[in-house]
């Protein structure tokens, strides 16, 4: 795999839909197994932080605060990577990030249930923030890989465009955004079922999914290298 190979994988449906499914899974997982904290969706954590603080339940408020702070740091680190990395769409960067996510989630899967929830929610929030910052499009359209509100809004807009314009582009947008919303909801359903079945080790499913994503990147990059014309001279 050429380190400088540019790959379209980061915005292709198969890549992004897996990431979105993992996002739904992780929110269901942490909510059910780790004290009702949303490791991905920080809107929920901000609300729960505020309501817990207003009720004087500071121990609950702090649990949500740590997740928010980890998310902020994750966005900052991803932003620095986007600035420093020579090619933000390079296979090397994509493989590095997805492999790091797989490693973190694999380690989290081994954390005993009796350990403090913050040991799990903080690293998950960190890698979720990096994912959201680095992977922002699907088929050239803006998306959020770790939440569904914005994607749901765009889905409704695309349905309206389809009904009023009836052209190929509106059909494509409607199909992609419906898949995005379905992927997140499906991931949450699977996350809830597997979390109730396996308990805290259930997050290992997401680690495997991220390994699959990394393999997609490697495959695509090698295909591009194989198809590239030989240099002259």
H or E segment to which residue 210 belongs: helix 204-227
Q: Report, as an integer, the average pLDDT of 178-185.
A: 92
Please provide the size of the chain in residues. 233
DSSP state of 43: H
As a whole number, the mean pLDDT across the chain is: 82
Bridge partners of 6?
A: 90
Task: Report the pLDDT averaged over residues 125-140.
Answer: 82
pLDDT of residue 226: 58
Determine the pLDDT at residue 4. 41
Select the more confidently predicted residue: 91 or 115: 115
Q: What is the mean pLDDT of residues 62-85?
A: 84
Distance of alpha carbon 217 from alpha carbon 185, whole angstroms: 25
Using a pLDDT cut of 90, give the percent of the chain over it.
Answer: 24
pLDDT given at position 166: 81
Answer yes or no: are the C-beta atoms of 72 and 127 closer than 8 Å: no
Among 19-23, 188-192, 225-229, the range scoring the smallest mean pLDDT is 225-229
pLDDT band at residue 121 under the 50/70/90 scheme: confident
């Amino acid at each position: 795999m050429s380190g400088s190979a540019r790959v379209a994988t980061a915005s292709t449906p198969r890549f992004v839909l897996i990431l979105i499914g993992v996002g739904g899974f992780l929110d269901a997982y942490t909510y059910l197994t780790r004290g009702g904290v949303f490791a991905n969706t920080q809107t929920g954590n901000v609300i729960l932080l505020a309501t817990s603080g207003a009720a004087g339940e500071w121990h609950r408020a702090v649990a949500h605060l740590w997740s928010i702070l980890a998310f902020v740091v994750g966005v900052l680190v991803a932003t620095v990577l986007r600035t420093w990395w020579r090619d933000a769409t390079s296979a090397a960067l994509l493989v590095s990030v997805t492999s790091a996510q797989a490693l973190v989630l694999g380690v989290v899967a081994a954390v005993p249930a009796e350990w403090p929830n913050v040991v799990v929610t903080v690293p998950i929030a960190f890698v979720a923030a990096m994912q959201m910052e680095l992977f922002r499009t699907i088929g050239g359209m803006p998306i959020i890989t770790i939440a569904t509100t914005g994607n749901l809004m765009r889905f409704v807009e695309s349905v309206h465009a389809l009904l009023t314009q009836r052209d190929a582009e509106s059909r494509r947008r409607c199909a992609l955004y419906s898949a995005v919303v379905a992927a997140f909801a499906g991931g949450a359903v699977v996350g809830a079922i597997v979390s109730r079945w396996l308990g805290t080790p259930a997050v290992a499913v997401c680690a495997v999914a991220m390994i699959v994503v990394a393999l997609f990147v490697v495959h695509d990059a090698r295909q591009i290298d194989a198809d590239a014309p030989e240099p002259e001279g």
